[in-house]
Structure 1
Amino acid sequence: MTVPQITALRLNDAPADTVKDVLFVGAGLGTGVQGLWGETAQQLTDRFHVVGWDLPGHDASPAHTDELSISDLAQAVADLVRSQHETGSIAAGAKVYYAGVSINGAVALQLGLDHGDLFDGIAPICTGAKIGEPASWKERAELVEKAGTPTMVAGSAARWFAEGFIEAQPTRATTLLHTLQDADRHSYARLCEALAGFDVRERLGEISTPIVSIQGSDDQVCSVDDGAFIAENVQHGTAEVVDGVAHQAPVEKPEAVAELLRTRFA
């Protein structure tokens, strides 16, 4: 297992003299953090500096073809946070939070397990303590490595968004789907394999960092029950549901997600 290189992106221009808290955010498999989180970040300029990162082989982050785990991804995020503390990008006394979607919700939970001291609150979004079945992820990894990520576009378009979203917001939807189509196939496969090995259901009770679990009411990938299970089994958890949203909550309803993060992260 190896820790990948990741690229950080500033997603809003909150005034440094008025906003102290920092929110790190991550995107789901096949999506880019700017496309997924950009609108939500703009809604949060009153409260947070928002810093995103792209998954290996997606948008700004370099490809990573070696075997990796969700723990390796969490380590990469933890290294990023510590680096920003050291350089002064995070102001002294600032609170630091994390929010991640889908595979990055898994990273969020892993951060709570391995690096909880770095964060004042964590929001796993549209995710679960176990996502899908290992055999399915391994099959997907094999398919994508052979045939490329374009094979995933049609199925992902059906799963990612609530009914009517693509027609109502074609630019937002196609931006994410283009990232999927252009993602590095080998990196994507390694991430599928990482999800195959992820299951922290029995370890949630070890997480002491406050958790805000946010799910979409229409999510076919990770259900409302998955979010409730997380909130019920960590030490300090609350569960929220965004109505009319499937698997990409920050791009589907950015105002609603921003309001939850603003109000639930005290």
Structure 2
Amino acid sequence: MLELTFTRLAGGDNSRRLLVVGPSLGTSVEALWGECARLLAPEWEVVGWDLPGHGRSGPALSPFTIDDLADAVRGFSADLARDRPTAYAGVSVGGAVGFQLTLDPGPFAATVAIASAPKIGQTSDWLERAELVRRAGTPVLVAGSVLRWFAPGFTDRAPRTVDTLLRSLSDTDKFSYAWVCEALAYFDLRDQLVRGRVPVAVMAGGHDQVVTPELARTATGTAHVLQSCAHLPPAEDPAATAELLTTLLSAKAAL
């Protein structure tokens, strides 16, 4: 099984419910989810996982798929869940893992995919980015990520949050990042979500140009849009994200 590092972000063993959260490509889960997680405690114990070579996870040693990531998340979470109501939420590639988990959910009673879709981007674009990063490293992506990740004006309103997220990108292992790109290149669940065994809800950022609200709606026909956000809602608007997550999970699975 692929080895990932899991980190408690908020809450604890006494929290009534468990939420496992996943990151976006190029981010550490603590930088992306930290403030949002604190707003969900103490009702939820929030535990995040880092992609290979990102945040606290060691670098990957070989290629992997979105299904491999889902297997690792499912396996770790089964022991952590115990008898508590348990849900999953992930951003972008973390949301892709959420879609994958609906097919074999393990302990999860519901999932939420944020800024994600059953197929994200074009295969050729992901493969080109993988090769670019292998040659030049992840810092080459920083300038473009500012435009992709954040809604207009956010860099001025929250420079510390922006700096933390961009540093997490620069610190990411370039080979692991490239393998995530290749996993996304071949990820496509558009014809399989009808077989999902647990409910999935979709959230989108109103300014997101990576996964537009229109693209996000292709998963279920409905996307709950956070108008103030672009591609990283848990960091851009932690309060609105936490409130919507709580509402969606309560509605989807009586969690």
Q: Deviations over 1:88-127 (max 9, x none)?
A: xx342x10000000011101101111x2242111000001
Report the Cα distance in structure 1 between the residues aligned to 2:236 and 2:175, rounded to whole angstroms: 28
Give yes or no for the alignment of 1:55 onto 2:51: yes
Tell me the secondary structure at the aligned position of residue 2 of structure 2: coil
Residue in structure 1 matched with residue 239 of structure 2 by the alignment: 255
Give yes or no for the alignment of 1:225 onto 2:214: yes
Relative to the length of structure 1, the TM-score reads: 0.91
Give yes or no for the alignment of 1:124 onto 2:113: yes
Q: Choose which of 211, 227, 240 in structure 1 pairs with 2:224.
A: 240
Report the Cα distance in structure 2 between the residues aligned to 1:136 and 1:74, rounded to whole angstroms: 23
Report the Cα distance in structure 1 between the residues aligned to 2:79 and 2:11, rounded to whole angstroms: 20
Residue in structure 1 matched with residue 253 of structure 2 by the alignment: none
Contact 2:11/2:43 (<8 A) preserved: no
Relative to the length of structure 2, the TM-score reads: 0.95
Runs of 4+ in 1 over 4 A off after TM superposition: none
Q: Choose which of 3, 6, 10 in structure 1 pairs with 2:8.
A: 10
Contact 2:138/2:173 (<8 A) preserved: yes
Unmatched tracts of structure 2, length 5 or more: 251-255
Q: Deviations over 1:210-232 (max 9, x none)?
A: 11100001100001112222123
Unmatched tracts of structure 1, length 5 or more: 85-89, 233-237
Percent identity between matched residues is 43
Give yes or no for the alignment of 1:179 onto 2:168: yes
Give yes or no for the alignment of 1:100 onto 2:96: no
Contact 1:129/1:226 (<8 A) preserved: no
Residue-pair matches, total: 250
Paired amino acid for 1:54: D
Q: Choose which of 37, 40, 44 in structure 2 pairs with 1:41.
A: 37
Paired amino acid for 1:11: L
Tell me the secondary structure at the aligned position of residue 201 of structure 1: coil
Aligned Cα RMSD in Å?
1.2
Report the Cα distance in structure 2 between the residues aligned to 1:231 and 1:201, rounded to whole angstroms: 10
Tell me the secondary structure at the aligned position of residue 218 of structure 2: helix
1:74-153 alignment to 2 at 5 Å?
Answer: 74-84=70-80, 90-92=81-83, 94-113=84-103, 115-153=104-142
